[in-house]
């Protein structure tokens, strides 16, 4: 089973071109190391509107993993979880909890996880280290979750 993935970086400064997308680059590399084919990367500014629109577009008719990086903290502009909740059909709280438990700073992440159609959406922090640690915390169960979303039989 080929696993497809998309990465959505949520950042004002990256979208303006004033900062490099280090977390998106790191995530794409880690996804590839785990056997995912990264089929698209995109950058959007912070805010419920831009993030929700990008999530709807990226998840439409997509069977795979969609990882957002950025916008999960306490800053007034960190609204990725709110945008994600407006798009997903079902939350996957166990994934979000596991990602938060991976490091002490993870407790400050408000990221969520959930499914829309056959697409599994994960919100990870915007720092490269936090993004990779969060993904690694759930990487072992994601293929099975994606198989179930695609209509596979539970084991």
| Residue 141 structural domain | 3-149
**135, part of any domain:** yes
What pLDDT is attached to residue 1?
A: 61
Count: domains in the chain:
1
**154, part of any domain:** no
What pLDDT is attached to residue 77?
A: 93
**44, part of any domain:** yes
**93, part of any domain:** yes
Strand partners of residue 124: 69
- 2 pLDDT band (50/70/90 cuts)? confident
Cα dist from 83 to 35, 56, 111, whole Å: 28, 10, 11
Strand spans (E) along the chain: 3-10, 36-44, 64-69, 90-91, 113-116, 119-124
What whole-number distance in Å separates Cα of residue 89 and Cα of residue 154?
Answer: 20
Per residue in 46-99, pLDDT (tens digit) is 999 999 999 999 999 999 999 999 999 999 999 999 999 999 999 999 999 999
Residue 29 maps to which CATH number?
Answer: 3.40.980.10
Q: What pTM was computed for the model?
A: 0.96
**155, part of any domain:** no
Cβ atoms within 10 Å of 34's Cβ, excluding its own? 16
Percent of the chain that is helix, strand, coil (3-state, to 5): 45, 25, 35
């Amino acid at each position: 089973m080929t696993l497809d993935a998309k990465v959505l970086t949520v950042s004002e400064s990256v979208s303006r071109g004033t900062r490099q997308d280090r977390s998106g680059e790191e995530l794409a590399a880690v996804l590839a190391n785990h056997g995912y084919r990264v089929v698209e990367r995109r950058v959007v500014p912070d805010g419920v509107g831009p993030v929700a629109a990008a999530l709807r577009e990226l998840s439409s008719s997509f069977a795979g993993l969609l990882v957002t990086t950025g916008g999960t903290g306490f800053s007034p502009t960190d609204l990725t979880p709110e945008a994600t909740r407006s798009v997903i059909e079902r939350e996957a709280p166990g994934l979000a909890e596991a990602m938060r438990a991976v490091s002490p700073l993870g407790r400050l992440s408000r990221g969520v996880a959930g499914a829309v159609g056959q697409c599994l959406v994960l919100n990870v922090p915007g720092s490269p280290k936090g993004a990779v640690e969060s993904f690694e915390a759930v990487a072992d169960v994601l293929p099975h979750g994606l198989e179930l979303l695609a209509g596979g039989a539970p084991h």
